[in-house]
Structure 1
Amino acid sequence: MAAIRKENARPPFLMAIYVLLFAAQLLVCGAAKRNVVILTEDNWASMLEGEWMVEFYAPWCPACRNLQSTWEEFADWGEDLEIQVGKVDVTEEAGLSGRFGVTSLPTIYHVLDGEFRKYTGSRTKDDFISFVDDKKWENVEPVESWKAPNSFLMSCVSWLFKISMAVRTIHTSITEDYGIPVWGSYCLFAAVTIVAGLLIGMVLVFITDCLCPAAPPKGFYEPVQMEMPPTKVRRDDRPPTEDQEEEDEEEEEMEEAEEGDAEEDNDANIRKRRVKATAE
């Protein structure tokens, strides 16, 4: 048995060679990986300077996994092509996924001094090298400025993606960690959404009223003029004058004369009636 074990034992120098080869392979793989820059929310702005080729991928994507080795081989040419090669994991960086408008995987962008172009060619190392070295990117229309990843609009989209991922994380935590059913999580989010909408609406209305107060209706502050019937001022309310006193005396005399004439007429009528009555 000892002889058999001695024959099957490998020489120590062969084990040393295996270890050295394994270490060399790890170093090569590590060097290849170091050539690919891992981009995140913290360092993505570095691609706005210089020339870049950036891949957006997901670990669960089969096409992304097939492209992985090719992309690392292409990264080895980065120094010769005077470009930097990067990649973004969309499962970890949802904000960058929204910022770049990634709708399919893998998605590759060519970036030159803040000008973005989407790569749609073949996904081979030679095609990548030719695209950069032969400047084929000049035949590709750049992304419009208002849709560029560094624009204000896409920054807002990036925040929306971050919020959606946060909501998804909270939903997962509620249903898995706390055991709340899915419908209960949906009801909770609906209530929070309604309350938040009401509060935001009240704040916006208050700000709008302060900055742009509504104009009052026409004639709201104008005094209302009502037509009043003309009032007659009695002469008794006026302070008497000499002419008015004379007129008053004349009027009184005329009234007395009229009263006297009326009494005389009444007496005459009474006499006539008596005479007529005695004659009958």
Structure 2
Amino acid sequence: MACLRATSSSSSSSFAMSSSVWTTVRRSWAPCLLLALCLTPELVAAKPESLREVTDGNWEDILSGEWMIEFYAPWCPACQQLQPVWKEFADWGEDMGVNIAKVDVTEQPGLSGRFIITSLPTIYHCKDGVFRKYQGARTKDDFLSFVDEQKWKAVEPVSSWFGPSSFLMNAMSALFKLSMFIRRCHNYMTEYLGIPVWGSYVIFGLVTLFSGLALGLLLVFIADFVFPSRRFSSPDYYQKKQSMEQARLIKQQDDEQEADGEEDDDEEEEEDDEDRDDVMRRRRGSPEGRPEPKGQSFSDEALRKRVVTSREDEEDT
């Protein structure tokens, strides 16, 4: 019995020691476990940040530093195959000092027009605002060597005329945004408002017509205001116009007077011719050789005056 008691007492003492040791270990490792659990979500959350997303609002960030940018669409099979490789490449970006980014062209139509994306996926390399299009193989090792060995220097950069910050590309970006806005309006009218497709086209046609007319009138007014005609802007224009109008009226009056004078001369000549004919008939008599009737005879003084005037006219001519 004594042996059993000794054995039980020794076992109980050893169990008490082991429990105290476990309690001590648990108390010492508990803060470490809590710290690890707290840091693990931060590490997991920080890892996706290695692949940045560029939008219309923050695209100017790529104009400074070195970037590798992928333009993709979720529905593109080639883009879907490239995504795992691109994520692995993004994990190396921080070590190499390169920013790895992606652009969803379906959500960012302005950037699609700004970079003239005609095929998917499209990859650009940017170094301090100078853009080059990547044309190599699409593997992680090729991406790493392209950046690490600076193979991008052998690629001809994009012209400044077609750079994303140029005036032409800004206009192209606005055009792509407008097209996407029109598409959304069309979908809203056809799907939610129940307007037929042809009705939507008619609405857009009328809006385009009236907006073009309004824009044309606005441009005409602006052109007339900024670049007025010289003749209308001249201070002597209205004086010259008034003097020219007066000269025209005077000339018209002179022409009318000349026309009236010519008519009077013609009438006088006709009267003189008639008088001359009467005198000649009086001298010669009637065509039948008989004298003129007494009712048509003239006095001697009248005949004499007409003969004198006819002679004077003949001398004058």
Equivalent position of 2:82 in the other structure? 67
How many equivalent residue pairs? 208
Alpha-carbon deviations, 1:154-195, whole Å to 9, x = none? 011101110100000000000000111100100010011111
Structure 2 Cα separation of the partners of residues 97 and 36 of structure 1: 19
Structure 1 Cα separation of the partners of residues 45 and 75 of structure 2: 22
Equivalent position of 2:92 in the other structure? 77
**Does residue 134 of structure 2 align to residue 116 of structure 1?**
no
Structure 2 Cα separation of the partners of residues 139 and 195 of structure 1: 51
Equivalent position of 2:152 in the other structure? 137
1:140 maps to amino acid: V
1:124 maps to amino acid: T
Structure 2 Cα separation of the partners of residues 79 and 69 of structure 1: 17
Which of 91, 94, 103 is the matching residue for 1:88?
103
Alpha-carbon deviations, 1:5-49, whole Å to 9, x = none? xxxxxxxxxxxxxxxxxxxx9988755432110111111111100
Identity %: 53
Asked if 2 retains the 8 angstrom alpha-carbon contact of 1:32 and 1:73, the reply is no
Choose between structure 1 and 2: higher helix proportion. Answer: 2
Structure 1 Cα separation of the partners of residues 44 and 158 of structure 2: 34
Q: Which has the higher contact order (CA 8 A, sep 6+)?
A: 1
Alpha-carbon deviations, 1:126-159, whole Å to 9, x = none? 1111111111100111111111001111011101
Equivalent position of 1:152 in the other structure? 167
Equivalent position of 1:189 in the other structure? 204
Equivalent position of 1:101 in the other structure? 116
Equivalent position of 1:278 in the other structure? none
User: What is the RMSD computed on CA atoms of the aligned residues?
Assistant: 2.7
In the superposition, the TM-score normalised over structure 1's length comes to 0.68
**Does residue 209 of structure 2 align to residue 200 of structure 1?**
no
Larger Rg, first or second structure (1 or 2): 2
What is the SS of the residue equivalent to 1:110?
A: strand
Asked if 2 retains the 8 angstrom alpha-carbon contact of 1:32 and 1:75, the reply is no
What is the SS of the residue equivalent to 1:108?
A: strand
Gaps of 5+ in 1: 1-24, 232-265, 267-280
Structure 2 Cα separation of the partners of residues 138 and 47 of structure 1: 18
Structure 1 Cα separation of the partners of residues 229 and 45 of structure 2: 66
Residues 79 and 46 (structure 1 numbering): CA distance in 2 closer, same or farther, change over 3 Å?
same
Alpha-carbon deviations, 1:39-68, whole Å to 9, x = none? 111111111000000000000000000000
